[in-house]
Structure 1
Protein backbone atom coordinates (compact mmCIF):
# COMPACT_ATOMS: atom_id res chain seq x y z
CA UNK A 1 0.00 0.00 0.00
CA UNK A 2 1.22 3.51 -0.87
CA UNK A 3 -0.71 6.80 -0.48
CA UNK A 4 -3.45 4.68 1.11
CA UNK A 5 -4.04 2.75 -2.14
CA UNK A 6 -3.80 -1.04 -2.40
CA UNK A 7 -2.67 -2.88 -5.51
CA UNK A 8 -3.29 -6.36 -6.84
CA UNK A 9 -0.20 -8.37 -7.82
CA UNK A 10 -2.04 -11.37 -9.31
CA UNK A 11 -1.06 -10.41 -12.87
CA UNK A 12 0.88 -7.77 -14.74
CA UNK A 13 -2.23 -6.11 -16.13
CA UNK A 14 -4.01 -5.90 -12.79
CA UNK A 15 -0.82 -4.61 -11.18
CA UNK A 16 -0.49 -1.92 -13.86
CA UNK A 17 -4.10 -0.83 -13.39
CA UNK A 18 -3.88 -0.78 -9.60
CA UNK A 19 -0.63 1.24 -9.42
CA UNK A 20 -1.55 3.74 -12.13
CA UNK A 21 -3.30 6.18 -9.71
CA UNK A 22 -0.24 6.07 -7.47
CA UNK A 23 2.10 6.85 -10.34
CA UNK A 24 -0.16 9.73 -11.34
CA UNK A 25 0.43 11.29 -7.92
CA UNK A 26 4.14 10.97 -8.51
CA UNK A 27 3.59 12.47 -11.97
CA UNK A 28 2.01 15.56 -10.39
CA UNK A 29 5.07 16.01 -8.16
CA UNK A 30 7.35 15.60 -11.18
CA UNK A 31 5.47 18.27 -13.13
CA UNK A 32 5.43 20.65 -10.17
CA UNK A 33 9.17 20.28 -9.60
CA UNK A 34 9.80 20.80 -13.32
CA UNK A 35 7.69 23.96 -13.49
CA UNK A 36 9.17 25.52 -10.34
CA UNK A 37 12.72 24.55 -11.29
CA UNK A 38 12.35 25.92 -14.82
CA UNK A 39 10.85 29.17 -13.51
CA UNK A 40 13.81 29.67 -11.18
CA UNK A 41 16.27 28.78 -13.95
CA UNK A 42 14.60 31.18 -16.40
CA UNK A 43 14.52 34.15 -14.03
CA UNK A 44 17.92 33.63 -12.45
CA UNK A 45 19.47 32.82 -15.83
CA UNK A 46 18.27 36.15 -17.21
CA UNK A 47 19.69 37.97 -14.18
CA UNK A 48 23.06 36.24 -14.59
CA UNK A 49 23.10 37.02 -18.32
CA UNK A 50 22.42 40.69 -17.60
CA UNK A 51 25.17 40.85 -14.98
CA UNK A 52 27.68 39.07 -17.23
CA UNK A 53 27.02 41.58 -20.00
CA UNK A 54 27.75 44.52 -17.69
CA UNK A 55 30.67 46.72 -18.68
CA UNK A 56 32.07 46.87 -15.14
CA UNK A 57 34.26 43.87 -14.36
CA UNK A 58 33.39 44.09 -10.68
CA UNK A 59 29.85 43.09 -11.74
CA UNK A 60 30.51 40.77 -14.67
CA UNK A 61 33.30 38.66 -13.17
CA UNK A 62 31.40 37.47 -10.06
CA UNK A 63 28.44 36.57 -12.28
CA UNK A 64 30.72 34.55 -14.56
CA UNK A 65 32.28 32.79 -11.58
CA UNK A 66 28.85 31.87 -10.20
CA UNK A 67 27.81 30.55 -13.60
CA UNK A 68 30.90 28.38 -13.93
CA UNK A 69 30.56 27.10 -10.37
CA UNK A 70 26.93 26.09 -10.85
CA UNK A 71 27.62 24.49 -14.23
CA UNK A 72 30.75 22.59 -13.18
CA UNK A 73 29.45 21.05 -9.95
CA UNK A 74 27.10 18.03 -9.99
CA UNK A 75 23.40 18.53 -9.37
CA UNK A 76 23.48 15.85 -6.67
CA UNK A 77 26.13 17.76 -4.72
CA UNK A 78 24.04 20.93 -4.90
CA UNK A 79 20.94 19.06 -3.68
CA UNK A 80 22.86 17.63 -0.71
CA UNK A 81 24.36 21.03 0.09
CA UNK A 82 21.00 22.79 0.16
CA UNK A 83 19.31 19.99 2.09
CA UNK A 84 21.97 19.14 4.67
CA UNK A 85 24.29 22.17 4.98
CA UNK A 86 21.90 25.14 4.94
CA UNK A 87 19.97 23.91 8.04
CA UNK A 88 23.21 24.15 10.00
CA UNK A 89 23.06 27.91 9.39
CA UNK A 90 19.41 28.25 10.29
CA UNK A 91 18.06 28.01 6.72
CA UNK A 92 15.58 25.14 6.70
CA UNK A 93 13.64 24.56 3.50
CA UNK A 94 11.02 21.89 2.71
CA UNK A 95 12.35 18.96 0.71
CA UNK A 96 10.32 19.85 -2.38
CA UNK A 97 11.44 23.48 -2.39
CA UNK A 98 15.03 22.39 -1.81
CA UNK A 99 14.93 20.07 -4.80
CA UNK A 100 13.23 22.58 -7.10
CA UNK A 101 15.71 25.27 -6.02
CA UNK A 102 18.64 22.97 -6.76
CA UNK A 103 17.27 22.28 -10.24
CA UNK A 104 16.74 25.98 -10.84
CA UNK A 105 20.23 26.94 -9.67
CA UNK A 106 21.91 24.23 -11.73
CA UNK A 107 20.10 25.09 -14.94
CA UNK A 108 20.28 28.85 -14.46
CA UNK A 109 23.94 28.53 -15.46
CA UNK A 110 22.91 26.99 -18.77
CA UNK A 111 19.97 29.30 -19.45
CA UNK A 112 22.20 32.31 -18.77
CA UNK A 113 24.35 31.28 -21.74
CA UNK A 114 21.21 30.87 -23.86
CA UNK A 115 20.09 34.36 -22.88
CA UNK A 116 23.55 35.71 -23.61
CA UNK A 117 23.43 34.30 -27.14
CA UNK A 118 20.00 35.82 -27.66
CA UNK A 119 21.12 39.19 -26.34
CA UNK A 120 24.15 39.22 -28.61
CA UNK A 121 21.93 38.43 -31.61
CA UNK A 122 20.14 41.77 -31.23
CA UNK A 123 21.60 44.36 -33.59
CA UNK A 124 24.03 46.66 -31.80
CA UNK A 125 22.62 49.61 -33.73
CA UNK A 126 19.43 49.39 -31.69
CA UNK A 127 21.41 49.57 -28.47
CA UNK A 128 23.29 52.60 -29.67
CA UNK A 129 20.06 54.28 -30.78
CA UNK A 130 18.47 53.63 -27.38
CA UNK A 131 21.47 55.14 -25.63
CA UNK A 132 21.30 58.15 -27.94
CA UNK A 133 17.71 58.61 -26.77
CA UNK A 134 19.02 58.57 -23.19
CA UNK A 135 17.14 55.43 -22.16
CA UNK A 136 18.23 54.00 -18.83
CA UNK A 137 20.18 50.69 -18.92
CA UNK A 138 17.28 48.92 -17.19
CA UNK A 139 14.74 50.20 -19.72
CA UNK A 140 17.10 49.41 -22.59
CA UNK A 141 17.50 45.85 -21.38
CA UNK A 142 13.85 45.21 -20.50
CA UNK A 143 12.09 47.00 -23.36
CA UNK A 144 14.50 46.82 -26.30
CA UNK A 145 16.79 43.82 -25.90
CA UNK A 146 14.87 41.12 -24.01
CA UNK A 147 11.66 41.21 -26.13
CA UNK A 148 13.76 40.65 -29.25
CA UNK A 149 16.07 38.05 -27.72
CA UNK A 150 13.48 35.70 -26.19
CA UNK A 151 11.72 34.58 -29.43
CA UNK A 152 15.09 33.55 -30.85
CA UNK A 153 16.01 31.32 -27.91
CA UNK A 154 12.70 29.51 -27.30
CA UNK A 155 13.95 26.18 -28.78
CA UNK A 156 17.07 26.23 -26.60
CA UNK A 157 15.07 27.06 -23.48
CA UNK A 158 12.67 24.26 -24.38
CA UNK A 159 15.55 21.79 -24.47
CA UNK A 160 16.47 22.74 -20.92
CA UNK A 161 12.85 22.41 -19.83
CA UNK A 162 12.94 18.78 -20.98
CA UNK A 163 16.34 18.27 -19.35
CA UNK A 164 15.05 19.58 -16.02
CA UNK A 165 12.09 17.21 -16.27
CA UNK A 166 14.40 14.24 -16.79
CA UNK A 167 16.61 15.30 -13.87
CA UNK A 168 13.74 15.43 -11.37
CA UNK A 169 14.39 11.77 -10.30
CA UNK A 170 17.64 12.97 -8.71
CA UNK A 171 15.48 14.61 -6.05
CA UNK A 172 14.51 11.17 -4.74
CA UNK A 173 17.69 11.32 -2.63
CA UNK A 174 15.91 13.81 -0.35
CA UNK A 175 12.77 11.65 -0.15
CA UNK A 176 10.68 13.50 -2.73
CA UNK A 177 8.03 11.11 -4.03
CA UNK A 178 8.31 11.85 -7.74
CA UNK A 179 7.44 9.20 -10.33
CA UNK A 180 10.66 7.18 -10.33
CA UNK A 181 10.88 7.07 -6.55
CA UNK A 182 7.27 5.92 -6.35
CA UNK A 183 7.96 3.21 -8.95
CA UNK A 184 11.00 2.03 -6.97
CA UNK A 185 8.95 1.77 -3.79
CA UNK A 186 6.29 -0.23 -5.64
CA UNK A 187 8.97 -2.51 -7.04
CA UNK A 188 10.46 -3.04 -3.58
CA UNK A 189 7.10 -4.05 -2.16
CA UNK A 190 5.79 -6.17 -5.03
CA UNK A 191 9.12 -7.63 -6.21
CA UNK A 192 8.06 -6.59 -9.71
CA UNK A 193 10.14 -3.73 -11.13
CA UNK A 194 9.32 -4.29 -14.81
CA UNK A 195 5.77 -2.95 -14.72
CA UNK A 196 6.21 0.21 -12.62
CA UNK A 197 9.49 1.21 -14.28
CA UNK A 198 8.07 0.58 -17.76
CA UNK A 199 5.05 2.71 -16.92
CA UNK A 200 7.28 5.51 -15.64
CA UNK A 201 9.31 5.35 -18.86
CA UNK A 202 6.11 5.63 -20.89
CA UNK A 203 4.84 8.56 -18.83
CA UNK A 204 8.16 10.36 -19.25
CA UNK A 205 7.98 9.76 -22.99
CA UNK A 206 4.50 11.30 -23.12
CA UNK A 207 5.61 14.28 -21.02
CA UNK A 208 8.65 14.87 -23.20
CA UNK A 209 6.64 14.72 -26.42
CA UNK A 210 4.01 17.12 -25.05
CA UNK A 211 6.65 19.57 -23.82
CA UNK A 212 8.49 19.46 -27.16
CA UNK A 213 5.25 20.02 -29.07
CA UNK A 214 4.38 23.00 -26.84
CA UNK A 215 7.83 24.52 -27.39
CA UNK A 216 7.55 24.11 -31.17
CA UNK A 217 4.09 25.70 -31.13
CA UNK A 218 5.35 28.64 -29.07
CA UNK A 219 8.36 29.01 -31.36
CA UNK A 220 6.08 29.27 -34.39
CA UNK A 221 3.69 31.72 -32.74
CA UNK A 222 6.17 34.24 -31.35
CA UNK A 223 7.29 36.88 -33.88
CA UNK A 224 11.00 36.64 -34.59
CA UNK A 225 11.31 40.42 -34.76
CA UNK A 226 10.39 40.64 -31.10
CA UNK A 227 7.53 40.52 -28.64
CA UNK A 228 5.35 43.64 -28.95
CA UNK A 229 5.00 45.52 -25.67
CA UNK A 230 1.93 47.62 -25.04
Structure 2
Protein backbone atom coordinates (compact mmCIF):
# COMPACT_ATOMS: atom_id res chain seq x y z
CA UNK A 1 0.00 0.00 0.00
CA UNK A 2 1.23 3.48 -0.91
CA UNK A 3 -0.74 6.68 -0.21
CA UNK A 4 -3.66 4.50 0.91
CA UNK A 5 -3.86 2.67 -2.44
CA UNK A 6 -3.68 -1.13 -2.55
CA UNK A 7 -2.67 -3.11 -5.64
CA UNK A 8 -3.32 -6.60 -6.83
CA UNK A 9 -0.34 -8.58 -8.11
CA UNK A 10 -2.37 -11.63 -9.20
CA UNK A 11 -2.21 -10.62 -12.86
CA UNK A 12 -0.29 -8.12 -14.93
CA UNK A 13 -3.35 -6.20 -16.08
CA UNK A 14 -4.84 -6.10 -12.57
CA UNK A 15 -1.51 -4.94 -11.17
CA UNK A 16 -1.16 -2.22 -13.81
CA UNK A 17 -4.71 -1.01 -13.22
CA UNK A 18 -4.24 -0.95 -9.44
CA UNK A 19 -1.06 1.16 -9.56
CA UNK A 20 -2.30 3.56 -12.25
CA UNK A 21 -3.87 6.06 -9.78
CA UNK A 22 -0.67 6.47 -7.80
CA UNK A 23 1.39 6.83 -10.99
CA UNK A 24 -1.02 9.52 -12.17
CA UNK A 25 -0.45 11.36 -8.89
CA UNK A 26 3.26 11.20 -9.58
CA UNK A 27 2.61 12.43 -13.12
CA UNK A 28 0.86 15.50 -11.72
CA UNK A 29 3.94 16.28 -9.63
CA UNK A 30 6.09 15.78 -12.74
CA UNK A 31 3.95 18.19 -14.74
CA UNK A 32 3.94 20.76 -11.93
CA UNK A 33 7.74 20.65 -11.64
CA UNK A 34 8.03 20.94 -15.43
CA UNK A 35 5.78 24.00 -15.61
CA UNK A 36 7.41 25.79 -12.66
CA UNK A 37 10.91 24.98 -13.90
CA UNK A 38 10.13 26.11 -17.43
CA UNK A 39 8.54 29.39 -16.32
CA UNK A 40 11.59 30.14 -14.16
CA UNK A 41 13.92 29.22 -17.03
CA UNK A 42 12.01 31.45 -19.46
CA UNK A 43 12.02 34.45 -17.12
CA UNK A 44 15.59 34.10 -15.86
CA UNK A 45 16.82 33.30 -19.37
CA UNK A 46 15.34 36.53 -20.71
CA UNK A 47 16.90 38.47 -17.85
CA UNK A 48 20.32 36.92 -18.51
CA UNK A 49 20.02 37.63 -22.22
CA UNK A 50 19.25 41.29 -21.53
CA UNK A 51 22.15 41.60 -19.10
CA UNK A 52 24.59 39.93 -21.50
CA UNK A 53 23.52 42.33 -24.25
CA UNK A 54 24.36 45.34 -22.08
CA UNK A 55 27.07 47.67 -23.35
CA UNK A 56 28.35 47.97 -19.78
CA UNK A 57 31.04 45.33 -19.21
CA UNK A 58 30.46 45.40 -15.45
CA UNK A 59 26.96 44.05 -16.18
CA UNK A 60 27.56 41.89 -19.25
CA UNK A 61 30.59 39.95 -18.02
CA UNK A 62 29.08 38.70 -14.71
CA UNK A 63 25.95 37.64 -16.63
CA UNK A 64 28.07 35.69 -19.10
CA UNK A 65 30.03 34.11 -16.26
CA UNK A 66 26.82 33.04 -14.53
CA UNK A 67 25.51 31.57 -17.78
CA UNK A 68 28.68 29.56 -18.32
CA UNK A 69 28.70 28.33 -14.73
CA UNK A 70 25.08 27.15 -14.90
CA UNK A 71 25.58 25.52 -18.28
CA UNK A 72 28.89 23.81 -17.49
CA UNK A 73 28.04 22.33 -14.08
CA UNK A 74 25.79 19.28 -13.57
CA UNK A 75 22.14 19.73 -12.68
CA UNK A 76 22.59 17.25 -9.83
CA UNK A 77 25.41 19.30 -8.29
CA UNK A 78 23.29 22.45 -8.43
CA UNK A 79 20.36 20.58 -6.89
CA UNK A 80 22.50 19.27 -4.03
CA UNK A 81 23.89 22.76 -3.42
CA UNK A 82 20.42 24.29 -3.15
CA UNK A 83 19.07 21.47 -1.00
CA UNK A 84 21.98 20.87 1.37
CA UNK A 85 24.09 24.05 1.41
CA UNK A 86 21.48 26.81 1.49
CA UNK A 87 19.92 25.55 4.78
CA UNK A 88 23.31 26.09 6.45
CA UNK A 89 22.81 29.80 5.74
CA UNK A 90 19.21 29.89 6.92
CA UNK A 91 17.55 29.43 3.51
CA UNK A 92 15.31 26.38 3.76
CA UNK A 93 13.06 25.57 0.81
CA UNK A 94 10.63 22.65 0.33
CA UNK A 95 12.03 19.79 -1.73
CA UNK A 96 9.65 20.43 -4.63
CA UNK A 97 10.47 24.14 -4.81
CA UNK A 98 14.19 23.42 -4.52
CA UNK A 99 13.99 20.97 -7.41
CA UNK A 100 11.95 23.32 -9.61
CA UNK A 101 14.40 26.14 -8.84
CA UNK A 102 17.35 23.94 -9.80
CA UNK A 103 15.67 23.08 -13.10
CA UNK A 104 14.88 26.73 -13.77
CA UNK A 105 18.43 27.88 -13.02
CA UNK A 106 20.06 25.16 -15.10
CA UNK A 107 17.89 25.75 -18.15
CA UNK A 108 17.94 29.54 -17.87
CA UNK A 109 21.49 29.36 -19.22
CA UNK A 110 20.22 27.60 -22.33
CA UNK A 111 17.13 29.73 -22.82
CA UNK A 112 19.25 32.88 -22.53
CA UNK A 113 21.12 31.78 -25.65
CA UNK A 114 17.80 31.09 -27.38
CA UNK A 115 16.65 34.62 -26.55
CA UNK A 116 19.97 36.04 -27.74
CA UNK A 117 19.66 34.29 -31.09
CA UNK A 118 16.08 35.47 -31.47
CA UNK A 119 16.94 39.06 -30.61
CA UNK A 120 19.89 39.09 -33.00
CA UNK A 121 17.66 37.77 -35.80
CA UNK A 122 15.58 40.98 -35.75
CA UNK A 123 16.76 43.16 -38.68
CA UNK A 124 18.95 46.09 -37.71
CA UNK A 125 16.66 48.38 -39.67
CA UNK A 126 14.03 47.88 -36.99
CA UNK A 127 16.36 49.35 -34.38
CA UNK A 128 17.34 52.25 -36.59
CA UNK A 129 13.74 53.11 -37.41
CA UNK A 130 12.81 53.00 -33.73
CA UNK A 131 15.71 55.26 -32.80
CA UNK A 132 14.69 57.67 -35.56
CA UNK A 133 11.30 57.89 -33.84
CA UNK A 134 13.14 58.79 -30.60
CA UNK A 135 11.86 55.74 -28.73
CA UNK A 136 13.59 54.77 -25.50
CA UNK A 137 15.73 51.63 -25.32
CA UNK A 138 13.21 49.93 -23.06
CA UNK A 139 10.36 50.76 -25.42
CA UNK A 140 12.31 49.52 -28.43
CA UNK A 141 13.03 46.20 -26.74
CA UNK A 142 9.54 45.56 -25.32
CA UNK A 143 7.43 46.84 -28.20
CA UNK A 144 9.54 46.11 -31.29
CA UNK A 145 12.36 43.62 -30.71
CA UNK A 146 10.86 41.09 -28.31
CA UNK A 147 7.51 40.71 -30.16
CA UNK A 148 9.41 39.84 -33.35
CA UNK A 149 11.87 37.54 -31.58
CA UNK A 150 9.31 35.41 -29.74
CA UNK A 151 7.78 33.63 -32.77
CA UNK A 152 11.27 32.72 -33.98
CA UNK A 153 12.31 31.03 -30.75
CA UNK A 154 9.17 29.05 -29.94
CA UNK A 155 10.50 25.75 -31.41
CA UNK A 156 13.77 26.03 -29.45
CA UNK A 157 11.97 26.89 -26.22
CA UNK A 158 9.66 23.95 -26.84
CA UNK A 159 12.66 21.63 -27.06
CA UNK A 160 13.84 22.81 -23.66
CA UNK A 161 10.35 22.33 -22.24
CA UNK A 162 10.53 18.66 -23.22
CA UNK A 163 14.09 18.42 -21.87
CA UNK A 164 13.01 19.83 -18.52
CA UNK A 165 10.18 17.32 -18.36
CA UNK A 166 12.61 14.45 -18.93
CA UNK A 167 15.01 15.82 -16.28
CA UNK A 168 12.37 15.96 -13.54
CA UNK A 169 13.26 12.41 -12.32
CA UNK A 170 16.54 13.87 -11.02
CA UNK A 171 14.46 15.48 -8.27
CA UNK A 172 13.89 12.04 -6.76
CA UNK A 173 17.30 12.35 -5.05
CA UNK A 174 15.82 15.01 -2.76
CA UNK A 175 12.71 12.88 -2.07
CA UNK A 176 10.33 14.54 -4.55
CA UNK A 177 7.66 11.95 -5.37
CA UNK A 178 7.59 12.46 -9.11
CA UNK A 179 6.40 9.71 -11.41
CA UNK A 180 9.61 7.69 -11.83
CA UNK A 181 10.36 7.79 -8.11
CA UNK A 182 6.86 6.49 -7.39
CA UNK A 183 7.41 3.65 -9.87
CA UNK A 184 10.69 2.77 -8.17
CA UNK A 185 9.01 2.66 -4.76
CA UNK A 186 6.28 0.41 -6.14
CA UNK A 187 8.96 -1.89 -7.58
CA UNK A 188 10.82 -1.96 -4.26
CA UNK A 189 7.67 -3.01 -2.41
CA UNK A 190 6.28 -5.53 -4.92
CA UNK A 191 9.56 -6.78 -6.47
CA UNK A 192 7.99 -6.14 -9.86
CA UNK A 193 9.76 -3.35 -11.72
CA UNK A 194 8.79 -4.21 -15.29
CA UNK A 195 5.18 -3.06 -15.19
CA UNK A 196 5.53 0.23 -13.24
CA UNK A 197 8.62 1.32 -15.17
CA UNK A 198 7.01 0.38 -18.48
CA UNK A 199 3.93 2.39 -17.55
CA UNK A 200 6.08 5.39 -16.64
CA UNK A 201 7.85 5.13 -19.99
CA UNK A 202 4.48 5.09 -21.76
CA UNK A 203 3.19 8.06 -19.77
CA UNK A 204 6.36 10.02 -20.53
CA UNK A 205 5.95 9.23 -24.21
CA UNK A 206 2.40 10.55 -24.14
CA UNK A 207 3.39 13.73 -22.28
CA UNK A 208 6.30 14.53 -24.59
CA UNK A 209 4.19 13.90 -27.70
CA UNK A 210 1.45 16.18 -26.39
CA UNK A 211 3.98 18.88 -25.46
CA UNK A 212 5.66 18.67 -28.87
CA UNK A 213 2.30 18.87 -30.64
CA UNK A 214 1.38 21.91 -28.56
CA UNK A 215 4.62 23.65 -29.47
CA UNK A 216 4.08 22.93 -33.18
CA UNK A 217 0.51 24.22 -32.92
CA UNK A 218 1.68 27.42 -31.24
CA UNK A 219 4.52 27.90 -33.72
CA UNK A 220 2.14 27.54 -36.66
CA UNK A 221 -0.34 30.09 -35.32
CA UNK A 222 1.86 32.85 -33.96
CA UNK A 223 2.15 35.71 -36.47
CA UNK A 224 5.64 35.69 -37.96
CA UNK A 225 5.71 39.48 -38.08
CA UNK A 226 5.53 39.58 -34.31
CA UNK A 227 3.15 39.20 -31.40
CA UNK A 228 1.62 42.25 -29.69
CA UNK A 229 2.89 42.71 -26.15
CA UNK A 230 1.23 45.11 -23.75
Pairwise same-fold verdict (TM > 0.5): yes
**Deviations along 1:197-230, whole A, 9 cap, x unmatched?**
0000000000000000000000000011100246
Name the TM-score, length of structure 1 as normaliser.
Answer: 0.98
Counterparts of 1:99 and 1:218, CA distance in 2 = 28
**Deviations along 1:47-89, whole A, 9 cap, x unmatched?**
1011111111111111100000000000000000000000111
Counterparts of 1:134 and 1:54, CA distance in 2 = 19
Name the TM-score, length of structure 2 as normaliser.
Answer: 0.98
**Deviations along 1:165-191, whole A, 9 cap, x unmatched?**
000000000000000000000000000
The answer to whether the aligner puts 1:81 opposite 2:81 as a matched pair is yes
Please, what is the CA RMSD of the aligned residues? 0.8
- Structure 1: gaps (5+ residues): none
Q: Number of residue pairs matched?
A: 230
Counterparts of 2:74 and 2:97, CA distance in 1 = 18
Contact 2:142 2:229 in 1 (8 A): no
Aligned-residue offset at 1:131: 2.1
The answer to whether the aligner puts 1:190 opposite 2:190 as a matched pair is yes
Moved more, 54-63 or 101-110: 54-63
Counterparts of 2:134 and 2:65, CA distance in 1 = 31
Q: Pairwise mapping of residues 100-179 of structure 1 onto structure 2 (< 5 A)?
A: 100-179=100-179
The answer to whether the aligner puts 1:227 opposite 2:227 as a matched pair is yes
Name the structure 2 match of 1:9: 9
The secondary structure found in structure 2 opposite 1:106 is helix
Counterparts of 1:132 and 1:168, CA distance in 2 = 47
Contact 2:143 2:228 in 1 (8 A): no
Counterparts of 1:21 and 1:111, CA distance in 2 = 34
Name the structure 2 match of 1:215: 215
Runs (4+) of structure 1 exceeding 4 A deviation are: none
Aligned-residue offset at 1:10: 1.1
Name the structure 2 match of 1:203: 203
Counterparts of 2:134 and 2:102, CA distance in 1 = 39
Aligned-residue offset at 1:34: 0.1
Aligned-residue offset at 1:133: 2.2
**Deviations along 1:16-51, whole A, 9 cap, x unmatched?**
000000000000000000000000000000010111
The answer to whether the aligner puts 1:18 opposite 2:13 as a matched pair is no
- Structure 2: gaps (5+ residues): none
Counterparts of 1:131 and 1:91, CA distance in 2 = 45
